[in-house]
Amino acid sequence: MSDARDRIMDRLQRARARRGADDAAAHAAVDGRLAARTRGPIPARAQLDPAAQVDLFVAMAEEQAATVTRVAGSDDVPAAVAAYLKAHNLPPRLRIAPDAAIEALPWAAQPLLSVAAGRAEADDEVSLTGAFAGIAETGTLMLHSGPAGPTTLNFLPETHMVVLRADQVVGAYEDAWDRTRAAARAAGREGALPRTVNFITGPSRTADIEQTIQLGAHGPRRLHIVLVEDGAGDGS
Amino acid sequence: MESTAHAFKDNARAAVADPQLKRALAHVKTGFIGKRAKAVARLPEFEALRDAARDIKDHTLDHLDLYLERYEARVAATGGQVHWCADGAAARAAVLEICQRAGAKTVTKGKSMIAEEIALNEHLEANGITPVETDLGEYIIQLRHEPPSHIIAPAVHLTKDLIEADFRARHMDLPPGRSLEEPRELVDEARQVLRRRFLEADVGITGANFLIAETGSSVIVTNEGNGDLTQVLPRVHIVVASLEKVVPTLEDVSTILRVLARSATGQEFSTYTTISTGPRRPEDPDGPDEYHVILLDNGRSAMLGNEFRDVLRCIRCGACMNHCPVYHAIGGHAYGWVYPGPIGAVLTPALIGIEEAGNLPNASTFCGRCEAVCPMRIPLPRMMRHWREREFERHLTPAAARGGLRLWAFLARRPALYGLATRLAIGALGWAGRRAGRFRSLPLAGGWTRHRDLPAPEGRTFRDAWAARDRGGAS
A163-192 pLDDT, tens digit per residue, is 999 999 999 999 999 999 999 999 999 989
The pLDDT of residue A141 = 98
**Of residues B170, B168, B144, the one with CA closest to residue B157:** B144
Q: Is A19 on the interface with B (CB under 8 A)?
A: yes
Closest to A30 (Cβ–Cβ): which among B66, B186, B224? B66
8 A C-beta contact, residue B183 and residue A212: yes
The pLDDT of residue B262 = 98
Please report residues of A whose CB lies closer than 8 A to that of B233.
152
The pLDDT of residue B394 = 85
**Of residues A201, A156, A208, the one with CA closest to residue A176:** A201
pLDDT exceeds cutoff 80 at A84: yes
Nearest chain A residue to B68, by CA: A9
The pLDDT of residue A220 = 98
Average pLDDT value for residue range A11-30:
91
Q: pLDDT band for A234, please (50, 70, 90 cuts).
A: very low
The pLDDT of residue B474 = 52
Adjacency order of strands within the sheet including B203-206: B81-85, B290-296, B236-242, B203-206, B106-109, B130-133
Cα distances from B210 to residues A38, B62, B439, in angstroms, run: 18, 17, 55
Q: pLDDT band for A231, please (50, 70, 90 cuts).
A: low
Put simply, the chain B residues between 173 and 232 with a CB less than 8 A from any chain A CB are: 183-184, 186-188, 190-191, 194-195, 198-199, 213-215, 217, 223-226, 228-229, 232
8 A C-beta contact, residue B301 and residue A8: yes
Q: B328, exposed or middle or buried, with CB in 10 Å at 0-12, 13-18, 19+?
A: middle
Q: What is the mean pLDDT of each run of 10 residues along chain B (475 residues)?
A: 92 95 89 95 98 98 97 98 98 98 97 97 98 97 96 95 96 94 95 96 98 98 98 98 98 98 97 98 97 97 94 98 96 97 97 94 94 98 95 83 88 92 89 86 81 84 87 63
Pairwise CB contact (< 8 Å): B64 & A15: yes
Pairwise CB contact (< 8 Å): B194 & A218: yes
| Domain at A44-228, CATH class | alpha beta
pLDDT exceeds cutoff 80 at A68: yes
Pairwise CB contact (< 8 Å): A16 & B24: no
**Of residues B308, B313, B304, B324, the one with CA closest to residue B376:** B313
Pairwise CB contact (< 8 Å): B268 & A9: no
- What residues does each domain of chain A span? 2-36, 44-228
Question: Which amino acid belongs to residue A140?
Answer: T
Predicted structure pTM score: 0.93
Pairing of strands A126-130, A159-165: parallel
Contacts of residue B15, Cβ cutoff 8 Å, sequence gap at least 6: B21, B329, B330, B331, B333, B334
Question: Please, what sign has the CA dihedral across residues B308, B312, B316, B322?
Answer: negative
Percentages of chain A per state (helix, strand, coil), in multiples of 5 = 40, 20, 40
- What residues does each domain of chain B span? 1-42+318-397, 54-301, 400-470
CA distance A209 to chain B (A): 6
The pLDDT of residue A236 = 36
Average pLDDT value for residue range A90-101:
97
Please report residues of A whose CB lies closer than 8 A to that of B33.
none
